[in-house]
């Protein structure tokens, strides 16, 4: 009788839950290949695959400045198998620029870790007769509305870096949005646009090759790996600060143990000497903080960009 009861219990008991992860993990990059988000994600993914002993694949889902990819992850099962390589745009700028907001940047996502901070950089086509921000401002004021600047997406931190320059320096330059850093840099190098704002990692090689001219970085301090480029404040725009950041997030209801496991592995990857060297050479600072620290940073960034958006008067419908 006891044996029959045990057999029945085993027969109708649910199968044991497999330990996470037991299959491939997908990281959604909400921009085209070749930009900073894509470069950083592809540096982390193979090493995460090695540590988890599972494939970690990158899926580029570009569109709407990063919103399409972010929404796809938000709607995915909250099981840790679909992640977002989010940015300042997806989680601090677009949620305050778009009305109605495309999602709740706090409630709809579970922060895992901040992967990297990076400066943005103001670029010029080498044929433009300016070699400094001061010369650019003089030209822009002499010819209002005739210069244009490209950015990597509508509402991204490079775009808002340009809008902040327009406001603080009181110049009239025209924004031209692109779908990623690659297309923007192609047109900047080709002379279809005169200026551009980009995250430093996706443009550093073009700067070093002399194909574009770097006029200033947007952070408070000069970037150690490109210390010859002045800050915007040093170059004549006091009070100017704008930067990019990149982090890993999961859908909002993802279990804490899954988030903690992923954070632990990614943070360890970001401490690897070869990753630190790669990131710094490309113009990015590896971080790897806790989910709680990342969540607090997102809240602060939402407040900061809300103030910037109000100051520059940009709204996206």
Query: Tens digit of pLDDT for each residue in 162-206?
Result: 999 999 999 999 999 998 899 999 999 999 999 999 999 999 999
What CATH number does residue 58 fall under? 3.40.190.150
Query: pTM for the complete prediction?
Result: 0.86
Mean local confidence (pLDDT), 25-50: 96
Catalogue the E-assigned strands of the chain. Answer: 25-29, 56-60, 82-87, 109-124, 148-151, 174-177, 195-199, 213-217, 243-251, 285-286
Q: Are 271 and 94 in contact (CB under 8 A)?
A: no
Query: Which residues are paired to 243 by β-bridges?
Result: 119
Shared-domain flag, residues 267 and 174: no
Q: Are residues 99 and 129 in the same domain?
A: no
Verify that 141 and 211 share a domain, yes or no: yes
Of 199, 226, 253, the position where a domain reaches its end is 226
Query: Is 137 part of any domain?
Result: yes
pLDDT (tens digit per residue) in 198-245: 999 999 999 999 999 999 999 999 988 889 999 999 999 998 988 899
End position of a domain, from candidates 200, 226, 252: 226
Q: For the residues 282-306, what does the mean pLDDT come to?
A: 94
**Are 50 and 31 in a shared domain?**
yes
- Taking residues 70-87, report their average pLDDT: 98
Is position 273 within any domain?
yes
**Coil, strand or helix at 177:** strand
**Domain range enclosing 284:** 23-118+243-312
Q: 198 - beta bridge partners?
A: 121
Cα angle 265, 270, 275 (rounded to 5 degrees) comes to: 130
Handedness of CA 271, 272, 278, 281 (dihedral sign): positive
The Cα–Cα gap between 147 and 166 comes to 12
Examine the domain organization and report whether 123 and 222 are in the same domain: yes
Q: Are both 220 and 284 inside the same structural domain?
A: no
Same domain? For 90 and 125 the reply is: no
Domain harbouring 141, CATH code:
3.40.190.10
- Where does the pLDDT of residue 13 fall: very low under 50, low under 70, confident under 90, or very high at 90 and above? very low
Does residue 184 sit in the same domain as residue 174? Answer: yes
Query: How many independent structural domains does the chain possess?
Result: 2
CA-to-CA distance for 41 and 47, rounded, in angstroms?
Answer: 10
Q: Does residue 80 carry a pLDDT above 50?
A: yes
What's the maximum distance between 2 C-alpha atoms anywhere in the chain?
96
Cα separation, 88 vs 53, whole angstroms: 30
Q: Rounded to an integer, what distance in angstroms lies between the CA atom of residue 149 and that of residue 124?
A: 9
**Does one domain contain both 45 and 30?**
yes
Rounded to whole angstroms, the Cα distance separating 91 from 37 reads 13
Length of the chain: 317
Residue 11: inside a domain, yes or no?
A: no
Average pLDDT, the chain: 92
- In the predicted structure, residue 276 carries a pLDDT above the cut 90: yes
Same domain membership, residue 300 and residue 279: yes
Alpha-carbon distance of 98 to 49, in angstroms, equals 35
How far is the C-alpha of 15 from the C-alpha of 26, rounded, in Å?
Answer: 25
SS3 229: coil
Looking at the domain assignment, is residue 17 inside a domain? no
State which of 201, 226, 251 marks the end of a domain.
Answer: 226
Stronger pLDDT, 7 or 105, i.e. the higher one: 105
In this structure, the answer to whether residues 162 and 208 fall within a common structural domain is yes
- pLDDT score at 3: 52
Asked whether residue 114 falls in the same domain as residue 248, the answer is yes
Structural domain includes residue 234: no
| Residue 202 maps to a domain | yes
Asked whether residue 215 is assigned to any structural domain, the reply reads yes
Choice among 16-20, 132-136, 153-157, 250-254 with the minimum mean pLDDT: 16-20
């Amino acid at each position: 009788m006891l044996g029959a009861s045990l057999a029945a219990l085993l027969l109708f008991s649910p199968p044991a839950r497999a330990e996470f992860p037991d299959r491939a993990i997908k990281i959604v990059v909400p921009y085209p290949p070749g930009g900073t988000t894509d470069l950083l994600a592809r540096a982390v993914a193979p090493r995460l695959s090695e540590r988890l002993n599972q494939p970690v694949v990158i899926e580029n889902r570009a569109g709407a400045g990063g919103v399409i990819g972010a929404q796809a992850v938000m709607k995915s099962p909250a099981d840790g198998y679909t992640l977002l390589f989010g940015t300042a745009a997806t989680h601090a700028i677009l949620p305050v620029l778009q009305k109605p907001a495309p999602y709740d940047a706090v409630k709809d996502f579970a922060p895992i870790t901040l992967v990297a901070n990076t400066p943005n950089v103001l670029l010029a086509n080498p044929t433009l007769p300016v070699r400094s921000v001061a010369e650019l401002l003089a030209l822009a004021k002499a010819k209002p509305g005739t210069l244009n600047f490209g950015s990597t997406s509508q509402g991204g931190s490079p775009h808002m870096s340009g809008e902040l320059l327009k406001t603080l320096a009181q110049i009239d330059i025209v924004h031209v949005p692109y779908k990623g850093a690659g297309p923007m840099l192609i047109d900047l190098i080709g002379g279809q646009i005169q200026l551009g704002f980009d995250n430093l990692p996706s443009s550093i090689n073009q700067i070093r090759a002399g194909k574009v001219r770097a006029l200033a970085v947007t952070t408070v301090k000069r970037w150690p790996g490109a210390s010859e480029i002045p800050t915007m404040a040093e170059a004549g725009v006091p009070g100017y600060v704008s930067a990019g950041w990149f982090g890993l997030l999961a859908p909002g209801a993802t279990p804490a143990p899954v988030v903690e496991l992923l954070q632990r592995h990614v943070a360890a990857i970001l401490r690897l000497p070869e990753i630190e060297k790669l990131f710094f050479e490309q113009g990015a600072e590896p971080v790897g903080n806790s989910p709680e620290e990342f969540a607090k940073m997102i809240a602060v960034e939402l407040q900061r960009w809300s103030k910037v958006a109000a100051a520059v008067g940009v709204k996206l419908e």
